[in-house]
Amino acid sequence: MARNPGLTDLPMRGAKDKKISLADRWKSYIAYHRITLRNAFKKLLVEPVQTLLTVTVIAIALALPSAMFLMLKNVEQLGSGVQASAQLSVFIKKGVTSQQIKQVQKQISDLPKVFSVDYISADQALQEFKALSGFGQALTYLDDNPLPAVFLVQPIRLGTSSSNQVEQLVTTITSFNAVDEVLVDMLWLQRLSVMTDISQKLVLAMGVSLIIGVLLVIGNTIRLGIHSRKEEIVVVKLIGATDAYVRLPFLYSGFLLGLLGGLMASILLVGSLLWIGQSVSVLAALYQSKFDLTGLGFSGVLGLCALGSVIGLCGAWMAVMQHLRTIEPR
């Protein structure tokens, strides 16, 4: 040995286990997190092509179900706009006094889901019919008015489970004494509702399978990273690293990949929506409608990023734990 330091220099002098304080542990923990995050970033940048490919795959897998979900949401909104015009025709029994009619009108307009009630008396109905049908002359030969009095009931704008609520409204109104019959064209509403139900389930199934796909893609990427650091992991474990210590760098990598994937998916979606939105506005204008495409929104972008990050964390976790189990003592 060229130089022979005194024993005071030896690290194990007074080899007593000095307890590390909680504050020091915390400081060290934070420092490790900071270093690890920085290294994870560096690692992504070292292989830009590989990173870009992985992020793109994740982005596409996240964007596809999200796009379908958005489409569905827009269709639903379109449907709910039409539902507002789902008018109920309430026919009043013959021979009901005007007193009773006023009472029924009040009863109906007091119902919570009713937006407006218009009364068309039997005479008014006859006038209208005469004017519109072209039977005007013939009708004057009738002894009395065959037409009943009618209330036109406009339900308030209802939510997605509207067909059920409309049905309830119909039952309630039918149960009133003076009411003869309530008519509503419900069938197509029901069809639309069932169709959106089915599409929702389809989107959900597709979303779940694509999320599993993202999980596997991230898991695989992390597994490659683990493989290239195999020796390092063994050494660090032998020196006394916990599973959490070994896991952290990979969790950060997975998290970053997922987050970037979510961000890119958001960009893809917002871009396509802007592009499609122009055509939709033109179409809506042709129908004299003020329909606007519902976009992703800030919460949607946030949600996609969060979803990506969580999937990234899970994928990385699974890959690391699988590897750590193989190097356990037997």
Nearest approach in angstroms of CB 10 to another protein is 5
Span of 25-33, 109-117, 171-179, 254-262 interacting with another protein by CB under 8 A: 25-33
Considering the rule CB under 8 A, would residue 110 count as an interface residue with another protein?
Answer: no
Span of 29-37, 58-66, 152-160, 268-276 interacting with another protein by CB under 8 A: 29-37
| Cα distance between residue 162 and residue 155, in whole Å | 10
Between 2 and 45, name the residue whose CB sits nearer to another protein: 2
Nearest approach in angstroms of CB 240 to another protein is 4
Considering the rule CB under 8 A, would residue 228 count as an interface residue with another protein?
Answer: no
Contacts of 225 (CB under 8 A, 6+ apart): 43, 250, 253
| Cα distance between residue 110 and residue 117, in whole Å | 10
Compute, in degrees rounded to 10, the torsion defined by CA atoms 259, 265, 266, 270: 170
Q: Is the four-CA dihedral 160, 161, 166, 169 of positive or negative sign?
A: negative
Considering the rule CB under 8 A, would residue 13 count as an interface residue with another protein?
Answer: yes
C-alpha angle 166-169-171 in degrees, rounded to nearest 5: 115
| Cα distance between residue 191 and residue 198, in whole Å | 11
Considering the rule CB under 8 A, would residue 12 count as an interface residue with another protein?
Answer: yes
243-286 vs 230-238: helix crossing angle, rounded to 10: 130
Q: Which residues pair with residue 154 across a beta bridge?
A: 116
Task: Give me the 239-278 binding string for another protein, x by CB under 8 A, dash otherwise.
Answer: xxxxx-x---------------------------------
Between 17 and 143, name the residue whose CB sits nearer to another protein: 17
Q: Is the four-CA dihedral 129, 148, 155, 102 of positive or negative sign?
A: positive
Which of 110, 143, 144, 231 touches another protein by CB under 8 A?
231
Nearest approach in angstroms of CB 35 to another protein is 9
Considering the rule CB under 8 A, would residue 45 count as an interface residue with another protein?
Answer: no
Considering the rule CB under 8 A, would residue 135 count as an interface residue with another protein?
Answer: no
Contacting residues toward another protein, per CB under 8 A: 1-5, 7, 9-13, 15-18, 20, 24-25, 27-29, 31-32, 231-232, 235-243, 245, 328-330
